[in-house]
Structure formats: structure tokens, C-alpha cells
Amino acid sequence: MPRSPRPHLPLRPLWLCRSCGTPWPCPDARLTLVGEYAADPVGLSVYLCGVLYEATADLHRLHPDQRPDPAGLFDRFLGWARRRTTP
């Protein structure tokens, strides 16, 4: 019996994808999240804000001498999910 693919969930406190090992949310996790929150884009942003908060704390605890880059973390966790408007 073939195994089902592992979901693209975060491995905490490293915040890497459990399935592909890339920084979470990886492209597959982003697609999944967009699908799950298709009817609630504000809910997606609220969820991602909470995850950003948790990831910042975890990453700071892992590397207290290296401050996480705020702009990089914003782009990684929230920037991709911003609502795009067409002119």
C-alpha cells in the first residue's frame, strides 16, 4: 500500500517544513493554506501573524546572539499572503 505524502507542516522550533526541509511555510504549505483559507483571507492573515510571533520567539531562543531579520521574517510568513488588488 503506498504511503500518503507527508503534510507540509512546521518542525518547531526550527521552523523548517517536516516534509521537504525548506523554511516553513514552504511553497506547498502556502498553497495548502491559501486553499484552506480561500473564503477567509483575513483569517489567513491573523493565523500567519500568530505563527510569525511564535516563530520569532522560537528562532530567537535558538540563536540568542543572532537577531532574526524582521523584514525577512515578515516576507516569509506574511508578505506572500497579502491581498493583491488589480487596478
Cβ distance 44 to 37 under 8 Å? yes
CA separation for the pair 3, 13 (Å, rounded): 26
Residue 6: pLDDT band by 50, 70, 90 thresholds?
Answer: confident
- Interhelix angle 27-36/41-62, nearest 10 degrees: 140
Q: Which tens digits make up the pLDDT trace of 65-80?
A: 988 899 999 999 999 9
Q: Where are the domains of the chain?
A: 11-81
Q: What is the pTM of this model?
A: 0.85
Strands (E), 1-87: 10-11, 16-17
CA separation for the pair 25, 49 (Å, rounded): 13
